[in-house]
Structure 1
Amino acid sequence: MNSDKSVILLEFNELCPSLIERFIQEGKLPNFQRLYEESEVYITDAEEEPPYLEPWIQWVTVHSGVPYSEHQVFLLDEGYKLKSKSIWDILSDAGLKVWICGSMNISYNPSLNGYIMPDFWSTKITPNSEELLLYFRFVQKQVQEHTNDSVPLNTGDYLRFLDFMKNHGLSLDTISAIIQQLIREKITGKYRWQRATIADKLQFDLFRSYYHKIRPRFSTFFINSTAHFQHMYWRNMEPDKFQIKPSVKEQIEYENAILYGYQEMDKLIGKFLNLSDDKTTFILSTALSQQPCFTYEETGGKRLCRPRKFESLLDFAGVKSNYICSPVMAEEFHVRFENEQDATEAEQKLINLQINQRQIMRLRRNGNDIFGGCGIFEEIPQNAILNIANSKKSIPFFDIFYQIEDIKSGMHHPDGILWIRKPSCKHSIHEGKISLCSIAPTILELLEIPKADFMKGTALV
């Protein structure tokens, strides 16, 4: 085993092979172009169809080398249910240090040799270091409430976070970007959505700080900002393809939102390449990608509604038992009860919520855990009344819910990017598509660790 070799896995969620190719050809992604020209290039196949085509399913496959048919991790925040070891557990067992920064839907061995910070939708898995917990909790609140006007953070929270970052890699570039972002918002009253890329910059600063501190043999870096832009602003990038056209006002702000996301990630690629030495292999993986979503055009486009406060929703529904509620992505959330009977009763009460005799909640219960969200995806009238079936209890719908402003216009696609840049920087393009199950054994092979018996894919090197 060569003790000098290292691998950095860049997990840029849902970037699209076709858009990368287009933007590179237009000369807009110089660092992606360099990485491409120095890499072995593959297209991955998620090998799943909806409802199993979701990043929180595919990233589990990437990390374990096991397909969904075996790992059965279906929901976000259920990575702890994975029965097999992930790459970092295997490498840690072999004595290699690891640094897992934001990877989605994970589990890990408590004796892990290194640092681990889960994705910010995680409520059951937390960082394995107290010092990372402050960063994790702060960003988690921002991410989970990014569509809400009221984020539950106060001045003290911001000051403690800045003090933490000051001692954990905060760069002048990031400080400058934060100041410019706030000034832009103040002057224009727009562009709040670009804050997602500020979070990426802060996370890179944190990653670099720990990378220099422990010199891990294997590390990951997961970000989701551009995936979010694609879901929300594909209509603005290619309005001619959609039946529902964005307004002139929307186009002024969002026409180049997706390109902006790719260009911000391009800057991060440049920073990562500056971290490398002649023993480092870079792997860029997206797990899956996206495509324009036309499914809801006939009903006005896919619109999402989310509770203003989840406690208000459950209180109106008549749920009195103890619970813990945590938001996930977009309109969805988890509610966990102390026992299965309480969860069953709460499920029935939430099912009884309706508008004009139409059930509004889409729910999935597993034991004492309910996962769900508002299941109506068209525009809801401003005078809509929320009521409980077979009851006179009612309230204006928008007293409890708010409608997320943007119309969702991107959807998942099974193709994904996989670029492997070895120290030799040899470029080659591989025809056909390869399974996501091949990524984990490939990483082990690069670090000269035997493939685990449970892994289904074949190493690519």
Structure 2
Amino acid sequence: MKKIILFELNEVPQKIVEYYCKCRPNSTLARIRNSTKKFETYTENKGHLSPWNTWPTLHRGVTNQQHYIADFNQDLTEVDKEYPPIWKILTEAGVKVGMFGSLHSYPMPKSLENYEFYVPDVFASGKECFPKNVEIFQDFNLKLSRESARNVERKIPFGDAIKLLINVPELGFKLDTIADTGAQLIKERIKPWQKVRRRTYQTILSFDVFYKLLEKTKPGFVTFFTNHVASSMHRYWGACFPNEYETVQFEDEWLDTFENEILFTMDKADKMIGRLCKFTDKNPDYLLLVTSSMGQNAFESQPTETQLYITNKDAFMKMLGLGKGSYEFMPAMYPQFNVQVEESGISKFRDHLNTFTINGNKAEYREHANGFFSVDLGHPNLTSAEISVNGQEISIDQSGLENVEIQDKSGTTAYHIPEGICFAYHPSFNENGTQTTISSAEICPMLLNNFNVKVPDYMPKTNYNLAEA
């Protein structure tokens, strides 16, 4: 049995790992690639693939045909009872766990027994964390995520930043992280387009906090989630791999500006993986497992000048028949909009949504239990937006919607594919580079096998043993 560090490198496919190792032959990934246990993973999920349905498959050992998790902040009370996530299974089996940022980890567990630390994902509705001193950072992190969901917000919440600086020693920020972050803010002044890199620096700061908790508590099982490479691939795959498209619709200046952004984000991921490899070398009772729940590949796209977003949420809800006090906004990944509606307003809201059209097309939405709704927006490059509810036209100014100009003009130049990555590092491994293909749903039972915890009957059976050299 080994202690496990699960590094969740969201949506990174094998192609990007190979490309990175070729471009950076002296990187950690290039150094360890031939001495790791490798698995090419694929998700068996049906329908639209997204991180909010593929990570639950990996964490719970069942596909979306069983867990039905489709949106952030939907009520998971019953799902958690029937198909609990890996961290819940392990803590109930007596394994000490540290959880940092894994998706669908909010709200906090009612019992923190056997948790050494617990920091929910960036779509959490509140800043609650364990230990409590991390809440200062989580509050800052959540605010940055809300304000820079599509366009990176130019301002910085300085009051919260000062609180962070006061707590630098306790939170674990390294001096080179502080210096690197400061240099980034200066570079933005010289080259404003580099503001897009702030998303990556959120991850860098998060990793320092995570690493301090890891070193201090040394749990049996830990997770760390990062989306910074996935975000870059969606936007800039077209700049990195322009030859993969039948028609390149982006201007040369855009291609030249952003051609190295995926490499930049992978450099930062490689540095984190390097620190975890060194930690594993010093603590050989640990094993490092790097995985994604799916991947990305080229997706035909065009420059995105504008997208239709909700910029006045209360006006949007008023248009759909509800007044203040009858709903609660829930965090979501743009361009999705999540809202919890009180029972008395559910029927009215649903009826209005069913007649809500944009340029004659019905808006898409999903309704979950207890009045939780997810509405899909983000319509690109609209020359006009004709809004209608119940057959009545509504001006865009009254609708709460706005055609928002997109900062970097990036469209979705890469999108989700079933295939992902999974590789295990330990200093004792001496693999020959062979790679096994497994379903991502097999990773959870594989982890349970490592801890000698009984695999539930609903999970796939697997004989893989991560700890064997």
Query: How does the TM-score come out when normalised to structure 1?
Result: 0.89
- Residue type of the partner of 2:289? I
SS at match of 2:189: helix
The answer to whether the 8 A contact 1:357-1:389 is kept is no
**Structure 2 CA distance for aligned equivalents of residues 149 and 44 of structure 1:** 32
Distance 1:58 1:126, change over 3 A: farther
Match of 1:91 in 2: 90
Match of 2:315 in 1: 312
Deviation string for 1:404-456 (max 9, x for gaps)? 44211111111111101234122144455211122122222333434344432
**Structure 1 CA distance for aligned equivalents of residues 155 and 180 of structure 2:** 23
How many equivalent residue pairs?
450
The answer to whether the 8 A contact 1:32-1:266 is kept is yes
Alpha-carbon distance, 1:200 to partner? 1.4
Match of 1:58 in 2: 54
Query: How does the TM-score come out when normalised to structure 2?
Result: 0.87
Alpha-carbon distance, 1:152 to partner? 9.5
**Structure 2 CA distance for aligned equivalents of residues 124 and 459 of structure 1:** 40
- Residue type of the partner of 1:64? R
Counterpart pick for 1:447 among 444, 448, 451: 451
- Residue type of the partner of 1:291? N
**Structure 2 CA distance for aligned equivalents of residues 22 and 71 of structure 1:** 34
SS at match of 2:318: helix
Correspondence 1:255-274 to 2 at 5 A: 255-274=259-278
- Residue type of the partner of 1:182? L
The answer to whether the 8 A contact 1:60-1:106 is kept is no
- Residue type of the partner of 1:88? W
Counterpart pick for 1:231 among 205, 209, 234: 234
Alpha-carbon distance, 1:347 to partner? 3.2
Match of 1:105 in 2: 104
Correspondence 1:44-443 to 2 at 5 A: 44-51=41-48, 53-78=49-74, 79-80=76-77, 81-82=79-80, 83-106=82-105, 108=109, 110-114=111-115, 115-123=117-125, 127-146=129-148, 147-148=150-151, 154-242=157-245, 243-276=247-280, 277-294=283-300, 304-321=307-324, 322-339=326-343, 341-359=344-362, 361-366=363-368, 367-374=370-377, 376=379, 378-381=380-383, 384-391=385-392, 393-396=394-397, 400-401=401-402, 402-404=404-406, 405-443=409-447
Distance 1:269 1:306, change over 3 A: same
SS at match of 1:127: coil
**Structure 1 CA distance for aligned equivalents of residues 211 and 416 of structure 2:** 31
Alpha-carbon distance, 1:350 to partner? 4.1
Distance 1:34 1:393, change over 3 A: same
Distance 1:35 1:446, change over 3 A: farther
The answer to whether the 8 A contact 2:52-2:70 is kept is yes
Moved more, 283-292 or 76-85: 76-85
Flag structure 2 segments of 5+ consecutive residues without an equivalent.
none
**RMSD of aligned residue pairs (Cα, Å):** 2.8
**Structure 2 CA distance for aligned equivalents of residues 12 and 144 of structure 1:** 21
Match of 1:34 in 2: 31
Alpha-carbon distance, 1:19 to partner? 1.8
Distance 1:185 1:398, change over 3 A: farther
Deviation string for 1:191-225 (max 9, x for gaps)? 11111221111111111111122111110111001
The answer to whether the 8 A contact 1:97-1:113 is kept is yes
